[in-house]
Amino acid sequence: MGTLTIGVVGVLAVVLITTLAPRIGVASPLILVVVGIGVSLLPMVGVIEIEPELLLGGILPPLLYSAAVNTPTMEFRRDLRTISVFAVLLVVASAFGVGFLLTWLVPGLPLPIGIAVGAIVSPTDAVATTIVRKAGVSSRIVTVLEGEALFNDASSLVILRSAVAAVSASVTFWSVALDFVYAVVVAVVIGYLVGMAHILVRSKVPNIAASVSLSLVIPFVAYVPAEHLHASGLVAAVIAGLVTGQHTPERLSAEVRIAESAVWRTAELLLESAVFLLMGLQLYGLLKDVHESSGSFAGTLQWEAVGLGVAAATVVMVVRAGFVSASVWALARRNRRMAPWRDRLEQFSERIDSMELPQRPGHKVDQRRWNSFKDVIAKRGADLDYLAREEFGWKDGVILVAAGMRGAVTLAAAQSLPTATPYRSLLVLTAFVVAAGTLLVQGGTLSRVVGWLNIAERDCSHDDELRAQLQTELAAAALAKLDGGACKRPNGEPFDEETLAEARKVLQTVIDPGEVLAEQAEDLLAVRLEIVEAQRVALLKIRDRGTYPTELLDNKLAQLDAEQIGIELRGS
């Protein structure tokens, strides 16, 4: 079967499974893994070997980049401390815990190799969080899990590289720590520069297809130089995605963003599905590798790999439960300590909102600085309100533990072990057992766990009171632009007062603006575009303050984009 035929059959299988999965109540990634395992064991299918670099350098960067673009930056910043603990300290503790266990269970296995395998099975899989998003958990849990999965690969790969090097050379704690700091810092700098350059260049590209095409290579533009400098290419791709997601609404048109979103959703579907399918397809090759390296003992070693995989998965789950419990307790304690400060900050914020801009004789007061100061106070208050409102309880802790699935990255990292590694075939198969086992067991039961815990989904996007408050703020920004004379025709001339008066009526009415505008003059359409732009600018400022839930702001931004496109179509 040729490569083209395999690709066509694979895409058809992905579409079929993705369509049927919701009807049978099973996440499509789980079905894809099982289908891949089944296909790999068919007699007519030979050994399927996937180069680790294909996954780590070819598939994972765009997937992590896309996930980072869609990560709510405000919520990510608020939980950065927790995410950092999970992405670094939890990986280190899990790696050493599994390392000591494997060294004890496998006679003659060097401790550095055990720690290397521990590092391989420690990080949660960013692609596996697809299952979490569809389980109906709170958005804060999803943000923490996605943030952890976006960055823990860097910790894992640094420990893996250092542990393998320790087999033949002396490696100190400080050398590993410096290696990690270097890998992350250089990757962050590269990712930030690539992300900013990406937005700047694309803002100058008028062609929508060309602009979207450029976005498809950005993950690799960040990944390749970082890897060349021995930094973390995956972290660089993630940072580029975070920067892009933050600044795209400010610099790119609605048409470009909508087209880009559609293209990336398609790419995500195909790449994520390919990851899970390829993971299952490699099982037969792993079993054959164990057989060829062990001969008559292959059957025993295969069952030994299952036992080691179960033991390793148990260790990482126990360590994770300890870290999650400590984090939930620490966050609750922090919220209790900050409660008085939250009340004082709210009172202070109300006082400065009612104050006029301070004036001093002989000094010119900068209105922008005063507004920036007020925004800082509002942002801090919003942070404290969010952490109190979305406080983690023991049920959330259970979900954070249960959702810590491993995936194809674990298998790819295991296959990158040097060929001379002792017990290599056994260890790679053990990593497969951990990855596939956690995916199928934890992923297959996560929805039931969520249902058993009876956690109410905290979706604020349909809160009528918050929506009304947000609409009031946006309407005020639009009226300020109309009343301030900032609305101009494309040639720079001001609009007549009659047109502006009609625009105010449309803005203040409950009637759908689209219905009203259908019969209005060209000038009124142009004014409406100015109003939409003013509301978008105000919305992005509100987003940076963090005073409204991200899902509500995203919904409103999508509405403004749709309204703008509708107005432009009527005027064309």
Question: What is the distance between the alpha carbons of residues 435 and 272, in angstroms, rounded to a whole number?
Answer: 15
Contact 343, 121 (CB under 8 A): no
Q: Going by C-beta distance under 8 Å and a sequence separation of 6 or more, which residues neighbour residue 549?
A: 139, 460, 461, 463, 466
How does pLDDT run along the chain (572 residues), one tens digit per residue?
A: 566 777 788 888 888 988 888 888 788 888 888 888 888 888 777 777 778 788 888 888 999 999 899 888 888 888 999 999 999 999 999 999 999 999 999 888 888 899 999 999 999 887 777 777 777 778 888 889 989 988 888 888 888 888 888 877 776 777 888 888 898 999 999 999 999 999 999 999 989 999 999 999 999 999 999 999 989 999 999 999 999 999 999 889 889 999 999 999 999 888 888 888 888 888 888 877 777 766 544 556 678 888 999 999 999 999 999 999 999 999 888 888 877 777 777 777 667 666 666 555 555 556 667 667 777 777 787 777 788 878 888 888 999 998 888 887 888 888 888 888 888 888 888 998 998 888 888 888 888 888 888 776 665 656 678 888 888 888 888 888 777 766 776 666 777 677 777 777 766 654 444 554 444 457 777 788 888 888 898 898 888 888 888 888 888 898 888 888 888 777 65
DSSP assignment of 391-421 equals ---HHHHHHHHHT----HHHHHHHHTS-TTS
Contact 125, 409 (CB under 8 A): yes
Identity (one letter) of the amino acid at 507? L
**Token output for 541:** 């400022």
Residue 347 vs residues 161, 379, 542: alpha-carbon distances, Å: 52, 14, 20
Is domain 3-329+389-458 classified as CATH 3.40.50.720? Answer: no
Contact 222, 190 (CB under 8 A): yes
Please report the pLDDT score of residue 516 as a whole number: 45
Please report the pLDDT score of residue 518 as a whole number: 46
- Percentages helix, strand, coil for the chain (3-state, rounded to 5) are 80, 0, 20
Question: What is the distance between the alpha carbons of residues 333 and 72, in angstroms, rounded to a whole number?
Answer: 25
Please report the pLDDT score of residue 359 as a whole number: 59
Question: Of 121, 6, 151, 125, nearest to 55 (Cα)?
Answer: 125
Exposure b/e, 168-205, CB count within 10 A at least 16 = b = eeebeeeebeebbeebbebbbebbbbbbeebbeebbee
Please report the pLDDT score of residue 401 as a whole number: 92
Please report the pLDDT score of residue 510 as a whole number: 41
Contact 546, 382 (CB under 8 A): yes
Residue 52 vs residues 62, 229, 251, 433, 528: alpha-carbon distances, Å: 16, 20, 36, 17, 52
Contact 508, 476 (CB under 8 A): no
- In the chain, DSSP finds a helix count (H) and a strand count (E) of 25, 0
Please report the pLDDT score of residue 360 as a whole number: 59
Question: Of 285, 275, 289, nearest to 54 (Cα)?
Answer: 275
Question: What is the distance between the alpha carbons of residues 286 and 305, in angstroms, rounded to a whole number?
Answer: 11
Residue 203 vs residues 68, 125, 244, 260, 531: alpha-carbon distances, Å: 20, 33, 12, 13, 21
Question: Of 163, 86, 147, 79, nearest to 319 (Cα)?
Answer: 86
Domain-wise residue ranges, the chain: 3-329+389-458, 461-571
Sign (positive or negative) of CA dihedral 280, 284, 289, 295: positive
Sign (positive or negative) of CA dihedral 6, 9, 15, 18: negative
